[in-house]
Amino acid sequence: MEGIRLNRFIAMCGVCSRRKADDLIKEGKVTINKQVIYNLGYRVSPIDNIFVNGQLIFIEKKRYVLLNKPMGYITTMSDEKGRSTVVSLIKNFFNERVVPVGRLDKNTTGLLLFTNDGMLSKKLMHPKYNVQKTYHVHLDKAMKESDFKKIEQGFELEDGPIKPIELKHIGVAHLSITIHIGRNRIVRRLFQFLGYNVIKLDRVAYGCLTKNKLSLGKWRELTKKEIESLHKNN
């Protein structure tokens, strides 16, 4: 790592962007070998101990893990109530600490991405990048054609507008909906608003990622092509 500029090193550790790293350096929040560094041009060496806000940082191997989440697991790193967490399905397989990108409700199944790539995670969750997510929805009754058209055209919920990118019939009371909005329980709420109860909700696609025969409760690491696609499209 000799010769890498300090701001790039901080960004590579997943702390923040290079621009934000420059701000941290200017604010005196970066120390190297117990000395505060204000020099934006400082280049790190392999023997440097670098701290940001008092925490030692280092470059980990980047991990990108895709889980097909089963029902009954909550999307959190730990739970004081002892409930099953998604992390329990992938822990002990990596030395690196990967965290979920976004969340799925306890009763929602489907694709959930984990990574220790902080920069990519922030991008994927930021509304301006419009990451598409496709869900298969089972309802408690067949949908009226008028309601189908209303969803297609978009309407207002209590926390703002909702308009899907695509809405398709799969079967009786079974639809596919693609959205880029990530508001809390948005898919369940839009159907409930029209008088339908969601019996089963399954996320089948996240950006360029699909299940591709990934069994429920199982995980896999992303391919190089998938990782490049996530970075390229965001």
Of 22, 48, 105, 147, which is the active-site residue? 105
> In this structure, are strands 108-115 and 198-206 parallel, antiparallel, or unpaired?
parallel
Question: Which of 226, 197, 234 shows the shortest CA–CA distance to 63?
Answer: 226
CB 102, CB 124: distance < 8 Å: yes
DSSP string, 34-57: TEE---TT-EE-TT--EEETTEE-
Residue 23 known to be catalytic: no
φ, ψ at 166 (rounded to 5°) = -150, 140
Residues designated as active site:
105
